[in-house]
Amino acid sequence: MRKKFRNLSLFSKISFVMCGLALALSTIITLTAVIYYRYIFSERLLGGIKTATVSAANTFYMNYTDIIERFVLTCGTEDFKSDVEYLCLSEPSYLTAKSKIQDELSTLSNCNYLVHGAMLLSGDGRTAYTLFNNPLYETAEEMFSPAELSRIKGISFLKERKSPFRSRVSVIPIVFPVSVITQYVELDLSDSAPDAYVIIFIDSAKLQTCLNLTNVSETENVYYLLTADGDLLNSPSTEDTEDVTAILEDERTKELLDAATWNTSDCSTFVSSDCYLAAYGLRYGDMILLNYAPRETFPDIFGKTGYTLLLLLVLLVFFLLTIAFLMARYITRPVNTLVAVVHQIEENRYTEKLKFSANDEIGQLGSAINNMHDTIRQQMVRIKQEEAEKYKTQVQLLTEQMNPHFLYNTLECIQSEVLRGNSNTATNMIQYLAEYLRIGLSYGADLITISNELRHADVYIKLMNQRFQQSIIFLYKPSSDLTQLLIPKTLLQPLVENSIRHGFGIDASGIPISVPTIEISFHASANRLSIGVIDNGSGFDVKKIEAITLGNPVEDNKGHVGLHNIYHRLVTYYGKENVQISFSSIPYYRNEIIISIPLPEE
């Protein structure tokens, strides 16, 4: 039996193990969750939610009572009466009126920690007075519509809105309509427009936090203030209550709110498939406090079960350990062995081949990996040989591509000088050409020292000065510790040629420069060698030069093949990721080409 199971297909082994695991987990978790959730956990949560709702209502009542008392103490004075009478004049001064009520507004704005601010609104709803340090960002008519003000009778809560002050918080306005009837200001309960409105703004977020602090249940409660008609006054921002509007439209929810309206001594509850609802009728203002709590999901329940699932967990762990042992023995361990073999092949450390005795897919895969390893080693040897030959051929072609044209023109120039009888000039040119060829050929070596590369560029400029009767200034002064470093040969000459022909207008189209100057710099930093070629020529189009250098030279830009060849020679030698080249151009001032390559080993 054991041998038969070992030789089963890998798919059969995995299917057998996973089916057993899924069956055990599904049975245990489903039975436990259904029993616990239906008969124990739900009732306990509902009791906690009812208690939390009553506590939140009492907390809200205490804060509301505190605000009312501070309102009475602040606005029930003769000074406030005189202030309101001044506001009722036909044309009161706005600044004077605003100054008169600063003390009252300051007291009301700080009467309770839930209060965000306070303002006084004229009876016609057109003029709003606030603290000097709390300016409004909109007009009074934009904050409160005439229709909204006309429905206010006595102390009224309005729907949540954005703060009228320069703040991002949301507020719930409490409106106190007041009129001067006797020797004091009184609360106006009539249907006519009052003399003024005192408005205190409750911070909606602080109110929600305050109510949540009374939570004694194990759920995250969200509290809503509703009118007796079921209209929402606040809108807490939470993902769990995005469908609260649909819940409020449910007939069972409406019955719950109606019961809470008439019963202010007890908390009414309703349980749906998605949430718990608890409603408590407040003893003032014909309002209802609604507590919304999402129902616990199965993962939440399993995090709180405790000792009731201890025995089942012990049995489950034992069963899972047995299954894990089987998976490790017949699946995980062979797969890990194959992974280790692949890593050894990747790191070129697979020297002793493993033998696989099983005849399932893992054994076949192991044999295939061994065969693949042999094939890869053979291919690597062949590729290395081909790459070495390709590199030598490519470097030779790129190097020779830049030489013939210059050599032919120089020899023709020497011949012309000889025919004209300028033997000294011809002799100098022959000497410079010999030095140029000796350094350039370098007995077939691909690398030369920086000092020889600078001499190579120097004799090239001297040849060009002789050919075109120029006086190009060549500046270079590398530090002594860099002169003997090896770099690929013939890097500077094409760049110098580019400056002479295209920058100085010599031997090509361009504007001649009165004092043509070329400067070569070498700098070493952070294991990188930076080579800079700077001239004061007519400059170049940076994007065009980058496209030619990094891409392929096109027919109209054959003169720039040197830049292209230099870049690809360096890429061939150092690798594309190790070669960087940049361009900058300020015409007739500073045109610069910077090449960055790895610092050669000494």
Confidence band for 340, pLDDT divided at 50, 70 and 90? confident
300 within a domain of the structure (yes/no): yes
The larger pLDDT score, comparing residue 432 to residue 350, is at 432
- Alpha-carbon distance 434 to 412, whole Å? 15
195 within a domain of the structure (yes/no): yes
Judge contact between 248 and 232, C-beta under 8 A.
yes
Checking if the pLDDT of 541 tops 80, the result is yes
Domain end (from 271, 304, 337): 304
The DSSP element (H or E) to which 279 belongs, if any, is strand 275-281
Checking if the pLDDT of 359 tops 60, the result is yes
Determine what percent of the chain is predicted with pLDDT higher than 70. Answer: 78
Q: What angle is formed at CA 438 by the lines to CA 435 and CA 439, rounded to 5 degrees?
A: 85
Mean pLDDT of 468-475: 90
Q: Which amino acid is at 562?
A: G
Confidence band for 534, pLDDT divided at 50, 70 and 90? very high
The three-state secondary structure class of 444 is helix
Confidence band for 297, pLDDT divided at 50, 70 and 90? low
- Which of 176-180, 489-493, 553-557 has the lowest average pLDDT? 553-557
- 0.75 surpassed by pTM: no
- Alpha-carbon distance 321 to 315, whole Å? 10
- Alpha-carbon distance 389 to 323, whole Å? 57
φ, ψ at 219 (rounded to 5°): -115, 165
Confidence band for 175, pLDDT divided at 50, 70 and 90? very high
- Alpha-carbon distance 166 to 138, whole Å? 10
Judge contact between 80 and 94, C-beta under 8 A.
no
- Alpha-carbon distance 296 to 282, whole Å? 28
- Domain containing 468 equals 446-598
- Which of 126-130, 207-211, 299-303 has the lowest average pLDDT? 299-303
pLDDT tens digits, 68-82: 999 999 998 888 989
φ, ψ at 130 (rounded to 5°): -130, 175
The per-residue pLDDT for 557 is 46
158: CB partners within 8 A, 6+ apart: 144, 148, 172, 173, 174, 175, 233
Mean pLDDT of 362-381: 76
The per-residue pLDDT for 141 is 80
Q: What angle is formed at CA 370 by the lines to CA 367 and CA 372, rounded to 5 degrees?
A: 110
φ, ψ at 306 (rounded to 5°): 70, -135
Checking if the pLDDT of 309 tops 60, the result is no
**What pairing do the DSSP bridges indicate for beta strands 170-180 and 161-162?**
antiparallel
**What pairing do the DSSP bridges indicate for beta strands 170-180 and 185-187?**
antiparallel
Judge contact between 17 and 327, C-beta under 8 A.
yes
38 within a domain of the structure (yes/no): yes
The per-residue pLDDT for 433 is 86
Structural domain count, the chain: 2
221 within a domain of the structure (yes/no): yes
Domain end (from 279, 304, 329): 304
Q: With CA atoms as reference, report the closest residue to 57 among 253, 239, 260, 350.
A: 260
Strands of the 222-227 sheet, one edge to the other: 222-227, 287-294, 275-281, 268-271
149 within a domain of the structure (yes/no): yes
554: domain CATH number is 3.30.565.10
Checking if the pLDDT of 271 tops 70, the result is yes
Domain end (from 255, 288, 304): 304
Dihedral of CA 176/177/180/181: which sign?
A: negative
1 within a domain of the structure (yes/no): no
pLDDT tens digits, 14-68: 666 666 666 677 677 667 666 666 667 677 778 888 888 888 888 888 999 999 9
326 within a domain of the structure (yes/no): no
17 within a domain of the structure (yes/no): yes
The larger pLDDT score, comparing residue 428 to residue 242, is at 428
Spacing of C-alpha 498 from chain mean position: 44
The per-residue pLDDT for 200 is 94
- Alpha-carbon distance 247 to 251, whole Å? 9
Spacing of C-alpha 107 from chain mean position: 45
